[in-house]
Amino acid sequence: DIIHCHDWSSAPVAWLYKQQYVHNGLPNGRVVFTIHNLEFGVHHIGKAMAHCDKATTVSYTYSKEVSGHGSIAPHYFKFHGIRNGIDSDIWDPYNDNFIPVHYTSENVVEGKSSAKRALQEKLGLHQTDSPLVGIISR
């Protein structure tokens, strides 16, 4: 089991788990702590860094910017910058095996329309020309 905490507002979960719950029937869990903005809740973030098993931040660049901060530097060995955004080598619609029609700028309308129809069918949605939007967010 993995507990993934984000920023200062969920930081207490990291140390509460390690100080309390790990001893009360949940011994195998691991805690990942992700920093989105070090400017808020530095005390909580520092304490979470001390108790988490791994720590990430929203980009490799941001991890370098904050790596010398007093809350992070002692725990740098478990701190990783994660790419923020889409990896265009993996999610290239010309080579993507998860979509029904590979496409480029030359056939983008056909490719996107085909992918939308396939998704609507797979999810049991009504076939329509209305926009279909998906969001992954906090």
Q: Do 71 and 98 sit in the same domain of this protein?
A: no
134 within a domain of the structure (yes/no): no
Ordered DSSP codes for 22-44 = GGTT-TT-EEEEEES-TTS-HHH
**17 Cβ contact list (under 8 Å, min separation 6):** 3, 26, 29, 31, 51
What global pTM score does this model have?
0.66
Q: Do 101 and 33 sit in the same domain of this protein?
A: no
Closest CA to 112 of 94, 124, 126: 94
135 within a domain of the structure (yes/no): no
Q: Do 61 and 104 sit in the same domain of this protein?
A: no
Q: Is the pLDDT of residue 64 over 60?
A: yes
If you search the block for the tokens 């060995």, which residue do you land on?
77
For residue 96, CA distances in Å to 70, 102, 106, 127 come to: 43, 7, 16, 23
Q: How many domains does the chain have?
A: 2
d(C-alpha 101, C-alpha 91), whole Å: 14
Q: Do 21 and 46 sit in the same domain of this protein?
A: yes
pLDDT digits (tens, 9 = 90+) for 71-90: 999 999 999 998 777 778 88
Q: Do 38 and 69 sit in the same domain of this protein?
A: yes
Which domain, by its residues, includes 7?
Answer: 2-81
Q: Do 46 and 114 sit in the same domain of this protein?
A: no
pLDDT digits (tens, 9 = 90+) for 95-127: 999 999 999 999 999 999 999 999 999 999 988
